[in-house]
Structure formats: structure tokens, C-alpha cells
Amino acid sequence: LKLHEEKGGTGPGRRYGLEVLNKSAVVLITSFWEAYCEDIAAEGLECIVTHAKASDVLPKEIKKIIARELKSDINELAIWDISDDKWRAVLRTHLIKLQETRNRKLNTPKHMNIDDLFESAIGLAKVSLKWGFKKRSPIQTRAKLDKFVELRGEIAHRGKAKSSVKKTTAVDYLELIKQVAARTGGVVNAHVKSITGGQALF
């Protein structure tokens, strides 16, 4: 967007020959959003594993992950791996598998995939329902985000969108992601603190 200003100026009127910059901005913003969610989900789980006082404070979804991992283990004594704080090691080992799964799935970071990410990683359900703002409900925010992610898909897979991509579109998308990322970070932080007994991510 800064390059757009340098090439096209800041005065009124449409800029021709600069749409490629607008498209690139949409693709990059989506990538940043995807990476942010992946990183904070992984950091949240790591914080929980490190600072949770005992396994009984873990969210049900995380307990289910441990149970599935142990159930698939042919070693009949694997269940004892969760005793004496060894559940932490089990979760850390499984975190690698979770990251691989998420990294494949989250290449389309619409609200449903973001919800799935945080629920499977740290047991936080429906984080997108917290995306309510002064002039936009969570449902409206979800729809707006999904529309931008779909636009990224059109650009990335076909090389062009159904309609021209203007600078205002990229700017609007960036502002949306700033809002949603800030809200998501706050909700994740509060969730982690509630499990760890006060240890925050940031």
C-alpha cells in the first residue's frame, strides 16, 4: 500500500496500471492473518502445557486429543504416560502433528477454519463469535472476512478477481484484519490465563 502511494500518489481519482499492487496486498494480508492465527494457537497451547498446574484444568477438547492419541497407541501401558505430569510431554509431541494438520487446512483462513483451529489447539470454541464491534456484529464480521478470503482465492488460483481490485479494498481488508487479530489475541490470552491460573501469553 505504501508502494501504491509512491507510484500513484495520494490525490483523488483512479490509478491505472496499479491493480497488481492491490491484488498483492490482498494476498499478503491473508497470509499474515493465517500465520498470526497459527502462531498464537501454537503459543497458546505451549503456554498451557508449560504452566497449567495439572491435567484436570485442561479444556475438554485438549483432553480428548490426549485420549485419542493414547487410544491409538498399541502400547497398553500408554495410558500411564499422562501420570506424573507426563501428559505435558504427550501434548508437546502431539503439537507437532496438530501443526502439520492445521498448516494444511488453514490455507483458507475463513471464520469456520479459524474456529476449528482454536478449538482443536487450545479448547477455545467459536472465537469468531467474539468478533463484534461497534458498527459490525460477529456475523457481519465473519461474512466480511470470508468474502475477502474468497477474493484472495480468486486472485491466487485464477490470477484475477471477478471484478477489479481497488486500493480501497485492500485498505478496508487491512483494517478489518487489524481489528479481528487484536480481538482474537485478547480472547486467546484471556482463555489461556483462565487455564494456567494467571500466566498470560503477552
Instruction: Tell me the mean pLDDT per 10 residues along the chain, length 202.
Output: 52 63 94 94 92 87 78 59 71 76 76 93 95 96 98 82 85 98 98 93 84
The DSSP code for 161 is -
In this prediction, residue 78 carries a pLDDT of: 57
Side chain identity, residue 48: I
The DSSP code for 76 is T
Give the SS3 label for residue 125: coil
Question: Is 10 part of any domain?
Answer: no
Query: Do 66 and 87 meet the contact criterion of CB atoms below 8 Å apart?
Result: yes
Q: How many domains does the chain have?
A: 1
Range of the domain at 41: 17-196
Question: Is 167 part of any domain?
Answer: yes
In this prediction, residue 35 carries a pLDDT of: 92
In this prediction, residue 88 carries a pLDDT of: 84
| H/E run at residue 74 | none
Question: Is 6 part of any domain?
Answer: no
In this prediction, residue 126 carries a pLDDT of: 97
Say how many C-beta atoms besides its own lie within 10 A of residue 154's C-beta.
16
